[in-house]
Amino acid sequence: MSETTRLVADWALTNISRLATLEPSAGAGPLGVIERGAVAAWDGRIVWIGPEDALAAQVDLGGAQIADAGGRAVLPGFVDSHTHFVFAGDRAEEFQLRHAGVSYEELARQGRGILSTVRATRAASDDELADLAYARLRSFAANGTTTVEGKTGYGLDTDTEARCLALMNALAGEPGLPAVVATFLGAHTIPPEFRGAPDDRSRYVDLVVEEMLPAFAGKARFCDVFCEATAFTVAETRRILERARELGYLLKLHANQLGPSGGARLAAELGATSADHLDFASAEELDALRQASVTATLLPGCSFSLSTTYPAARRFYDHSLRLALATDFNPGTSYCESMQMMVALAVSAMGMTLDEALTAATVGGAWALGMQDEIGSLAPGKRCDLIILTGHDERELAYHFGVNLLARTIIATQEVVR
């Protein structure tokens, strides 16, 4: 490449031991590893990746900020495509009760579970919710997550759902925080004020369909529904999601987590971007999801927290499904913002290889958000979101578990202050 045709960069990262690009064509193996690699970017987007000894010849670095990886391994930031990070209160007591033998369903019948978080969230001020959400996003970033999907669903009335969406959209542009993708989950459960009369369920679904969905169109990228025996039926879910699609939302489903709910088949029928959980999805449903190009999102933090059987990753690979890993960060069933933990659980308890788990935690998460052209791997044109590990080899992930292996998190070339 001649001097006149060199690319121009305003930022570069050098002194990388192993650059795991997650682009197989860019380097060695499934992770596209470049030994002694480098990354160059302009205005927050990658313009070049390759061996460091080719950087100066191919990229004009005049005036660029040069960052030093310190001889450590680098890979794309994690994409956490399923979280519930806007809420108040906690459910530590409930966690202890579950592990003393009280079932999830029984806790829900007692008014615990999601409803206890709804009460706390409704009672919290805007400032309280903002402080809590901000601190959680900082924790996500410190653990290596650079894009976070966040769901409403702890308001369950128009006012509180609106407050939660407004907060997520305000935080989405905050420097030093992960990018935030907002999802409307007004159909998380039936709120307490709609649990008295026989027609209350249908009146709440009417409220979601006729008032909330139109009010929040354009303020949330996705509409999600918890399709489960303890939440919403297939018929109710279909009605909500069909209206959401008409209004321009992309679709997600909580599907087949606690039993064979029919949600997975509905996700395929409606062409959802992702179907999440899928612990009880049948072989036929997995085939339908593949045929509809729905990304299957697995959430091992729930199995860990609930002490239930982990879904076997090989079942999904055998059906040629694209997989994502996510934390399902929430106060009740997966109170964990560490994608490193999810990678470790995927390898140790779900039968994934490390390459598969890292792909699901980055590229797979991007597909689960419909953002595969923007994030999830290190390639020219994509946002320069990356993480620098404390060690020289990405293969330490899952092997060295229970600690934070992140040295630095960089979002659009801006370093997050830990």
Q: What pLDDT tens digit does each residue of the chain (418 aa) get? A: 444 589 999 999 999 999 999 999 999 999 999 999 999 999 999 999 999 999 999 999 999 999 999 999 999 999 999 999 999 999 888 888 888 888 767 877 777 788 999 999 999 999 999 999 999 999 999 999 999 999 999 999 999 999 999 999 999 989 889 999 999 999 999 999 999 999 999 999 999 999 999 999 999 999 999 999 889 999 999 999 999 999 999 999 999 998 999 999 999 999 999 999 999 999 999 999 999 999 999 999 999 998 899 999 999 999 999 999 999 999 999 999 999 999 999 999 999 999 999 999 999 999 999 999 999 999 999 999 999 999 999 999 999 999 999 999 999 999 996 6
Q: Measured in whole angstroms, how far is the alpha carbon of residue 41 from the centre of its chain? A: 25
Q: Which residue has the tokens 């020289």?
A: 392
pTM: 0.96
> How does DSSP classify residue 103?
-
CA atoms 55, 56, 59, 61: torsion sign: positive
Domains in the chain and their CATH numbers? 3-76+377-415 (2.30.40.10), 78-368 (3.20.20.140)
Beta-strand runs (E) in 21-120: 33-35, 37-42, 45-51, 59-60, 65-76, 78-80
Q: How far apart (Å, rounded) are the C-alpha atoms in residues 115 and 133?
A: 19
CA atoms 9, 394, 391, 148: torsion sign: positive
Beta-strand runs (E) in 281-385: 295-298, 323-325
Whether residue 153 contacts residue 330, with contact meaning beta carbons closer than 8 Å, is answered with no
Q: How far apart (Å, rounded) are the C-alpha atoms in residues 204 and 199?
A: 9
> How does DSSP classify residue 377?
S
Query: What's the angle, vertex CA 128, arms to CA 118 and CA 409, rounded to 5?
Result: 100
Nearest Cα neighbor of 263 from 251, 250, 239, 281 is 281
